[in-house]
Structure 1
Amino acid sequence: MTLTTYFALTSCFASEATNAASTVAASGDDHDGVYVYSCVMHPEVTSTKAGDTCPKCSMNLEHTGRPAGNGKTYRMDFSAQPAQLAAGQPATLSFRPMVQGEDQTPMPLAVVHEKKIHLIIVSKDLSEFFPEHPKFKASGRYDLPFTFQTGGEYVLYQDYTPAGAGHQLGRQEVTVAGPPKPAVEFSKDQMQWRANGYQATLAFDKPLTTGQLLGMRIGIKKNGQPVTNLDKYLGALGYVVVISENTKQYLHMHPNDQTDRGPNISFNTSFAQPGLYRVFLQFNHDRQIRTGNFTIHVAPAAT
């Protein structure tokens, strides 16, 4: 198994909110620059300025009570058993969140969207998508039994939040031994998904270009009729994961607050980099989790 690990958060929202806050720490609010504020719907969005709003859903960021800038660097330790992953062979994927330089110190995680770790496994060509939630063990690690069905290159992402700290993202690339399936090339926009009588349609309120806030809507039908009785999953009517073609840009989004239960699910988002992206949707209907997917192209901002 080959392994490459990245620890930087790739969500453009988190970096923009944090960087903006660092220049306005002395605005007059006694808490400005001292405590972290975050979005209850999008915990990766943080600021140190009271009164800031979330660029994804426009909600006011909430005071978390945790000090800003604890100076710690976090990383996700990953191992697999067996170490050489192979297609068709059951394996255990194991994760341990750690503070750099404090490897033996247990690090508790906060529950965010009903789970402590949200694990996303995708094939490198982004044709396969596996959302998982590893379980905590007495060893201090979070383990997941998993069997890769085909060989090839895969990418693992972990969304997690250390208790008292901000949102983190772990990323690893793994090679699975065995015959790979033929690679799928995505080149055209795919704004509609269909399966088992369901249809989901993706739409944006503006042309897809970088550097602007976009309203994103997904409308869901079953057998041609709007679905108005969606059930919640992970605390919301659904969620979306967006991954760039090179797998380096990653965004995990939960929807805006809404009083109805469909047929539309609304999000706010933006894109820092142009290019092709795959969009993965999960929603809950008739007591079953459904997974849809789309393909979009984001153009550079007009100059």
Structure 2
Amino acid sequence: MKRFLLPAALLATLSWTVACSSNDASSSSTNTPTVMNPSSADAHTGHQHGAGKDHHVPAAGADQSGGHVYTCPMHPEVTSDQPGTCPKCGMTLKHTTGAGNAYLMDFSMTPAQPAAGRPVTLSFQPQATGTNHAAVPLATVHEQKVHLMILSHDLSEYYHLHPELKPSGRYELPFTFKTGGTYLLYQDYQPEGGGHQLGRQTLQVSGPTRPAVKYMKDQLRWEANSYAADLAFDKTVRAGQPLTVSVTVSRNGRPITDLDQYLGALGHMVILSEDGADYLHVHPEDQADKGPRIGFNTTFDKPGRYRIFLQFQHAGVVQTSDFTVNVTPAAA
């Protein structure tokens, strides 16, 4: 008999504590890079895809009974010990040999101390817990093995980058931090046969700092480079309720109807809570047209202020837009 194993407390957006490495010792000195300890990260994340469905990622190391586990590609919280189809969307369940593993992302830098205006090589290696240094093959998700997000602590700077796999087995990327201060790094990746994972580190970069940018009011319109993007929700933005998110893009005041595919989708959206603890990487609904509307579905787990970053590509150029949303408490 088929058993569909659902978490006991399945929320609209499933969350878990981020696995991260602690290669470099923490220090109170502003000249020493600090990497968050897994027990103190206290960050939560989800990975959501379109087709009108949320893509929830189960907790790393979640218990999976039986010798074989079959998971829905669109709804990883749906698992079975036998082949079959997903009761939510009808997709064929995929055999996931590594579903029971827990993973972490080993992180290092060269030089070990990042400084503003000076190139540094960021290096990452996914590892299965208990088998450190063993290679963990990664699946290609949206055309890349690792999606790296780098943000300044005030969430005013945002970079979506892709480290390259080197012969050493590590994924590396050269990067130059603009100013000194605190930066957040997130790595979105999926081991072959496993679920989506997220690594996170907090770095202290030496050098001159700049005043932090404060985001207070809702900012639902973005304009730059002759482009504009307008963000809208289908209902009042409250914590704990599913929301349809629409972004309408235009250029020189005219709706864009010929958006390019960017990393296999019309748009990529990353949502971060003000404190950086809650992270969502959201992909759009399936749609036959190429704009001007890009549709997403998401849920905010808790009230508070969030920053939203949307990337889309038009005429061969990627545009990065940003928004601010204040989420009210769930209705009584």
Q: What is the TM-score normalised by the length of structure 1? A: 0.88
Structure 1, gaps ≥5 residues long: 26-30, 54-58
Structure 1 residue 131: Cα displacement: 0.7
Q: Which amino acid aligns with 2:168?
A: S
Contact 2:259–2:291 at 8 Å: present in 1 too? Answer: yes
Does residue 1:222 correspond to 2:222, yes or no? no
Stretch deviating more after TM superposition (100-109 or 112-121): 100-109
1:112–1:118 CA distance, 2 compared to 1 (3 A): same
Residue in structure 2 matched with residue 114 of structure 1 by the alignment? 143
For residue 291 of structure 2, the aligned residue among 253, 262, 279 is 262
2:45 is aligned, of 4, 10, 18, to: 10
Alignment partners' CA distance in 2, 1:211 and 1:219: 24
Q: Does 1:246 align with 2:275?
A: yes
Counterpart code for 1:66: T
CA distance in 1, matches of 2:90, 2:163: 31
SS at match of 2:207: coil
- Residue matched to 2:303: 274
Q: Confirm or deny: 8 A CA contact 1:89 1:147 kept in the other structure.
A: yes
Q: For residue 208 of structure 1, give the secondary structure of its aligned residue in structure 2.
A: coil
One of 133, 150, 162 as aligned partner of 2:162: 133
Shift of 1:16: 6.5
1:56 aligned partner = none
The answer to whether the 8 A contact 2:189-2:198 is kept is: yes
Aligned residue type for 2:273: S
Question: In 2 relative to 1, CA 145–62 (structure 1 residues): closer, same or farther, beyond 3 Å?
Answer: farther
How far, CA to CA, are the matches of 1:218 and 1:60 in structure 2? 28
Cα distance change of structure 1 residues 18 and 161 upon mapping to structure 2, 3 Å threshold: closer
The whole-number CA distance in structure 2 between the counterparts of 1:205 and 1:5 is 38
Deviation per residue, 1:92-124 (Å, 9 max, x gap) = 000000011111311110000110000000001
Equivalent residue for 1:35, pick from 64, 70, 77? 70
Decide whether the 8 Å contact of 1:9 with 1:169 is kept in 2: no
Structure 1 distance, partners of 2:35, 2:126, is 17
1:18–1:48 Cα contact (<8 Å) kept:
no
Q: Structure 1: which 4+ aligned runs deviate by more than 4 Å?
A: 5-9, 12-19, 59-62
Q: Give the corresponding residue for 1:66.
A: 96
Partner secondary structure for residue 183 of structure 1: coil
Contact in 1 for aligned 2:44/2:277 (Cα 8 Å): no
Q: Supply the distance in 1 between the matched residues of 2:196 and 2:235 (Cα, whole angstroms).
A: 29
Alpha-carbon distance in 2 for matches of 1:267, 1:80: 35
What is the Cα-based RMSD across aligned positions, in Å? 2.4
Q: Contact between 1:74 and 1:97, CA under 8 Å: does it hold in 2? A: yes
Number of residue-to-residue matches in the alignment: 284
- 1:140–1:34 distance in 2 versus 1, CA, 3 Å: closer
Tell me the distance in 2 between the aligned counterparts of 1:177 and 1:278: 25
| Matched-pair identity in % | 48
2:26 alignment partner in structure 1: none
CA–CA distance in 1 between the matches of 2:56 and 2:230?
29
Of 118, 122, 128, the residue aligned with 1:89 is: 118
Amino acid at match of 1:3: V
2:25 corresponds to: none
Give the drift of 1:73: 1.4
Instruction: Give the 3-state SS of the residue equivalent to 1:11 in structure 2.
Output: strand
Residues 62-106 of structure 1 show CA distances to partners (whole Å, capped at 9, x for unaligned) of: 412215842x21000000111110000100000000011111311
Q: Which residue of 1 aligns with 2:13?
A: none
**Residue 217 (structure 2) pairs with residue 188 (structure 1):** yes
Deviation at 1:197, TM superposition (A): 1.0
Contact kept? 2:146, 2:163, Cα under 8 Å: yes
- The answer as to whether partners of 1:17 and 1:47 remain within 8 angstroms in 2 is no
Given the two structures, how large is their TM-score scaled by the length of structure 2?
A: 0.80
Q: 1:200 aligns with which of 208, 221, 229?
A: 229
Q: 1:28 corresponds to which residue?
A: none
The runs of 5 or more residues in structure 2 that have no matched partner are 1-32, 49-53
Q: 1:189 to 1:63 in 2, by over 3 A?
A: same
Tell me the distance in 1 between the aligned counterparts of 2:57 and 2:165.
31
Tell me the amino acid that sits aligned with residue 93 of structure 2. H
Matched with 2:196 is 167
Using a 3 Å threshold, how does the CA distance of structure 1 residues 149 and 241 change in structure 2: closer, same or farther?
Answer: same
